[in-house]
Amino acid sequence: MNVIFHKRFYEVYAHDPAATPGRMEAIVSTLEGEFEFVEPEQASDRDIERVHGREHVRSVKGDSLLYEIASIAAGGAILAGEMAFQGLPAFGLIRPPGHHASPHSCWGFCYFNNVAIAIKKLLSAGKIKSALILDFDLHFGDGTSNTFAGSHEVTYVHPGGGSREAYLKDLQGSLHADKRYDIIAVSAGFDRHEDDWGGMLKTDNYLSIGKWVKEFSIKNCQGRRFGVLEGGYNHSVLGRNVKSFLQGFND
Ligand SMILES: [Zn+2]
């Protein structure tokens, strides 16, 4: 399985918890040697503007470092989506995250909606006609939900629940539908971990989630699946949580 990563994601492009120094290093050091690393290219304005308004793109461009890193992150999601379309599961180890980026605004450490940009590109190329986006980040991906509001092609799900058991049950339930999709994309945020902001999931739970997505994709999506990093802020556990998810997600 390929992990999409670019060295420029090490750069500190903003002052927020997603952009802190050491965050990507903590993940890369646990994945290196286990997975193939592939470098993405910058997404084009055309790709980004399938989701975002020109004015929003222009405002991000006002900070050239931020724009460069954010457009490489979007390019990473695009590459992961293209690989998944070709039958190769892939994970975009990217930052900044994207699920709080709406067409005309953004917040929550997000600028461009990486997963939405990847899905829209596949849709506009006619490669897929439907997609399921599963978001297991602690926070609701309002940007992704807004992007696809009213869409008949793309379904966005963000499971919830007040306890670990209830949460996992809800997540599994969202994957039990018999509806078929051309691809499943995962907004993989690890901030619901017991040692992160959400204080809930165990590292092994990410292995189970990865397996459930894999099994769902084989049954309903011709095996086409990719994930992209969203949140996750405790550097001491983030690497092993990502690794656990990828071990379940991989063939
Ligand atoms: Zn989050």
Residues listed for the chain: 251
Name residue 106's beta-bridge partners.
Answer: 101
DSSP 8-class letter at 127? S
Predicted local distance difference test score (pLDDT) of residue 73:
98
pLDDT in tens, 158-217: 999 999 999 999 999 999 778 899 999 999 999 999 999 999 999 999 999 999 999 999
Distance 44 CA to ligand 1 centre (A): 26
Q: What confidence category does residue 2 fall into, taking pLDDT thresholds of 50, 70 and 90?
A: very high
Distance 231 CA to ligand 1 centre (A): 4
pLDDT in tens, 67-104: 999 999 999 999 999 999 999 999 999 999 999 999 99
Q: Where are the beta strands (DSSP E) in 36-161?
A: 36-38, 90-92, 131-135, 154-157
pLDDT in tens, 33-54: 999 999 999 999 999 999 999 9
State both tokens at 203.
């590292």
Residue linked to tokens 């060295």: 7
Distance 227 CA to ligand 1 centre (A): 15
**Cβ 192 vs Cβ 201: under 8 Å:** yes
Q: Which residues surround ligand 1, an ion (CB under 5 A)?
A: 137-139, 189, 191, 231
Cα 128 to Cα 106: distance, rounded to the nearest angstrom:
27
Cα 214 to Cα 230: distance, rounded to the nearest angstrom:
19
Predicted local distance difference test score (pLDDT) of residue 176:
79
Smallest Cα–Cα separation from 93: which of 34, 142, 152, 157? 34
**Does the active-site annotation cover 56?**
no
Q: Which entry of 99, 100, 139, 193 is annotated as an active-site residue?
A: 100
Report the first-to-last Cα separation within the chain, whole angstroms. 8
Name residue 184's beta-bridge partners.
Answer: 132, 225
Buried b (16+ CB within 10 A) or exposed e, 124-142: eeeebebbbbbbbbbbebb
What's the average model confidence in pLDDT over 108-134?
98
Distance 145 CA to ligand 1 centre (A): 14
pTM as predicted: 0.97
Using CA of residue 136, residue 137, residue 138, residue 144, what is the dihedral sign?
A: negative
Q: What is the mean pLDDT of the chain?
A: 97
Distance 101 CA to ligand 1 centre (A): 12
AA identity, residue 49: E
